[in-house]
Amino acid sequence: MRRVIPIFIPNLGCKIRCVYCDQEKTVGKSPQVPSPERIREEIELWLKERLKEKEEVQVAFFGGSFTGLPFFLQERLLFSVHPFIEKGLINSIRLSTRPDLIDERILELLKRGKVRTIELGVQSMDAEVLKLSKRPYGVETVMKASELIKEWGFELGIQIMVGLPGETVYSFKETVKRVIQLRPSFVRIYPTLVLRGTELEKWYREGLYKPLELWKAVELSKEALYEFQRAQIQVVRIGLQREEELERNLVVGPYHPAFGELVRSALLLDKLKLYLQDNPKRALVRINPKDESLLYGHRGEIFKRFKALFEKTEMVFQKDETINRGDLKVEILS
């Protein structure tokens, strides 16, 4: 199992502001460069209190476009982690950045800096959506950056958003399809929210932008999750992490504290529906123990609706660690 020690660098390296972005309100932190001493203290705290033996551990620089920082700052941040790597306490480093901030010179620095994983905030593979969202790059830049990252031997992660300005159901599905073609190691899916102080809030109040309803964002994310699973690409996160600052500054949008659970539950129950479509009398359902909560959903809402739909079927649930996460097996008993 891989564990991550997060070091937040909110907005650092970002010289532009996308229409939906006010990261201080998303993660609740003001932009400042963490000192090497602060980084060491943070790592030591995590190693002492939260991590178990025999876990693979990465230090993750999240929040800003890391490779948009001046080179000397990138080096200072990366090399402050090296003593822990040399002692075998940390395995590697991961970071997030934009596709337009990747080139061979930067990748050479990251390789020396012992970075293993690079996450690209792609958000969309639709040129018009990128333009409306004020992302400073096009689809070709995403493709080139992704290929370079893999050619240099890094692990590639891609972040996408659902419900961006100008996006349609078709264009979101095309984004998913084109991301799959890039063959990342993993992806993250985030819903687009309207936060106070953003340009998107202005558009919303002027009637120029309409956010997705929660059910629609869940439905689209569920379909994306299914496609990524089919392509054997891991989806490591769906939805934003719950933060007081985020909830306080949310104007409107498909926010739910358990958004990812809603999506994964919906997909799991879709799979169960396929097995039970002939309304059998009794069925044995085998599921990974870690997915048991997904059958019930947030506060049991999903399972209540499902039981009402298949009220004539008696279901027996059995935990089975051999079943892959996100999957299930059903045996019709009668």
The two three-digit tokens of residue 165, written as one number: 């300005």
Superfamily for the 2-257 domain? Aldolase class I (3.20.20.70)
The two three-digit tokens of residue 119, written as one number: 């996450």
Q: Give me the residue spans of the domains in the chain.
A: 2-257, 274-332
Burial of 142 (0-12, 13-18, 19+ CB in 10 A): buried
What residues pair up with 237 in beta bridges, in sequence order?
A: 188
Token pair 């551990």 in the structure block, residue? 57
Pairing of strands 155-162, 186-191: parallel
* Cα(120)–Cα(99) distance, integer angstroms: 6
The two three-digit tokens of residue 79, written as one number: 């090399």
Token pair 């109040």 in the structure block, residue? 205
Interior angle at CA 223, CA 218 and CA 225, nearest 5: 90
Contact 10, 24 (CB under 8 A): yes
The two three-digit tokens of residue 300, written as one number: 């049991």
pLDDT for 14 equals 72
Instruction: Tell which residue, 90, 42, 38, 33, has the closest CA to residue 66.
Output: 33
The tens-digit pLDDT sequence of the chain (334 residues) is 678 999 988 666 677 788 998 755 444 445 578 888 999 999 999 988 766 666 789 999 987 799 999 999 999 999 999 999 999 999 999 999 999 999 999 999 999 999 999 999 999 999 999 999 999 999 999 999 999 999 999 999 999 999 999 999 999 999 999 999 999 999 999 999 999 999 999 999 999 999 999 999 999 999 999 999 999 999 999 999 888 888 899 999 999 999 999 999 889 888 888 888 888 888 888 999 888 888 776 677 777 777 777 788 888 888 999 998 888 898 888 8
Instruction: Tell which residue, 328, 256, 243, has the closest CA to residue 294.
Output: 328
* Cα(169)–Cα(220) distance, integer angstroms: 8
Helix (H, G, I), strand (E, B), or coil: what is residue 279?
coil
pTM confidence score: 0.90
Buried b (16+ CB within 10 A) or exposed e, 125-139: bbeebbebbebebeb
Pairing of strands 250-252, 328-332: unpaired
* Cα(51)–Cα(55) distance, integer angstroms: 7
At a CB cut-off of 8 Å and minimum separation 6, what does 264 contact?
225, 238, 291, 294, 326
* Cα(255)–Cα(242) distance, integer angstroms: 10
pLDDT for 263 equals 94
| Residues listed for the chain | 334
Token pair 């002027």 in the structure block, residue? 206
* Cα(89)–Cα(197) distance, integer angstroms: 41
Query: How many C-beta neighbours within 10 Å does residue 78 have?
Result: 21
